[in-house]
Amino acid sequence: MRGHRRQGLWLAFALHRASGLLLALFLPVHFHVLAFALNDAAKLDAFLAWTDYTVVKLAEFGLVFLLAVHLLGGLRLVALEWLPWSGRQKTLAAGAVAGTASTFVLPERDMTALHRHDTDILILGSGGAGLFAALHAQKAAPGATVTLAVKGLVGKCGCTRMVQGGYNVALGIGDSVERHFMDTIRGGKWLPDQDMAWRLCEQAVVRVRELENEVGCFFDRNPDGTVHQKAFAGQTFDRTVHKGDLTGIEIINRLMEQVLSRPVERLQEHRAVGLVPARDGSGLSGVLFIDMRTGDFRFVRAGSVLMATGGGRRCTSTTPPRATRAWTGWPWPCARG
């Protein structure tokens, strides 16, 4: 019995390691070819046509098979060899593991399915910037189709929801946009783009008024009814508007309610994998996504694409947002120039 266990353990170990090695060799080639295909629309069409060949479909089936073998080898190591089961129990357990794995391997599925979707305005991201952009786009062009694409769920993604401190804005008596601007420049050690910093400070007043009067946010108030503003790091004036320590949740919830009440299309749990340029190189034809619920590709052709993918939490070692805020949207426009 012990010899049988050693032999089975060795076989499972060999299968696990061999399948893992093959996956390590195959997957980089697979993703490299996919990245090459995303350079332009012509290459993408050629790539999708190439994937219709039988040999390519067999290779894709082989990839799924290797994943199943890798999983089975690991399960056999853990469940079938390390646990003190009898021979009959081991046979039943092996059958259960094989039956479970077959549900992933046996059904035939078109891994190259490409769904197409047309829209006038495509917005990537559903944080504060993305939701605000959807509202303004729908208001400015009521007849246009506005589509909001997000890798998670609308209202649950983005760094804005994680804001606790508040929103800096020059509203108080004695404060000014100029003073707010200088605090911003000094806080950035004179590195920020000054035109952008000025616009940020100037538009902060407009955006807070809009959040209160049009979106419906309830910020904390003073006894006389004015907006309460507290001191915050890097500011020479008490200018931080807040809702307790849940400012971000208040802003995102109210923006989400406004977006859901309007005819804005939503592509939730769709991860963008690349910008697809126009055939003539004059601009973008759209964005390629992966529907994370089904694994299918979806190409969204858009008249305009607005990037609202936010900043990167990994710029600093300590930050509230979780690791999914990975700054993945920034390299795409930089690569396109």
Whether residues 11 and 100 fall in one domain: yes
At 281, the pLDDT band (50, 70, 90 cuts) reads: confident
Domain count, the chain: 3
Q: How many CB atoms neighbour CB 180 within 10 A? A: 25
Q: Is there a contact between 220 and 242 (Cβ–Cβ < 8 Å)?
A: yes
Q: What does the DSSP 8-state code read for residue 228?
A: P
Whether residues 101 and 208 fall in one domain: no
Whether residues 218 and 304 fall in one domain: no
Whether residues 152 and 260 fall in one domain: yes
pLDDT score recorded for residue 122: 97
At 148, the pLDDT band (50, 70, 90 cuts) reads: very high
Q: Is there a contact between 160 and 248 (Cβ–Cβ < 8 Å)?
A: yes
pLDDT score recorded for residue 332: 72
Instruction: Kindly report which listed range (22-36, 123-137, 220-234, 239-253) carries the lowest average pLDDT score.
Output: 22-36
What CATH number is attached to the domain comprising 129?
A: 3.50.50.60
Q: Is there a contact between 326 and 309 (Cβ–Cβ < 8 Å)?
A: no
Strands 265-267 and 146-149: what pairing?
parallel
Residue-wise pLDDT for 37-57, tens only, equals 666 556 666 666 666 667 766
- Identify the domain boundary among 218, 245, 272: 245
Query: Higher-confidence residue: 22 or 297?
Result: 297
Question: Given a cut of 70, is residue 94 above it in pLDDT?
Answer: no
- Identify the domain boundary among 86, 105, 124: 105
What CATH number is attached to the domain comprising 21?
A: 1.20.1300.10
Q: What stretch of H or E contains 115?
A: strand 114-124
CA distance 322 to 314: 9
Query: Higher-confidence residue: 128 or 27?
Result: 128
265 - beta bridge partners? Answer: 147
Whether residues 277 and 291 fall in one domain: yes
User: For the whole model, what pTM was predicted?
Assistant: 0.65
Domain residues for the domain of 332 are 114-161+249-337
Whether residues 230 and 319 fall in one domain: no
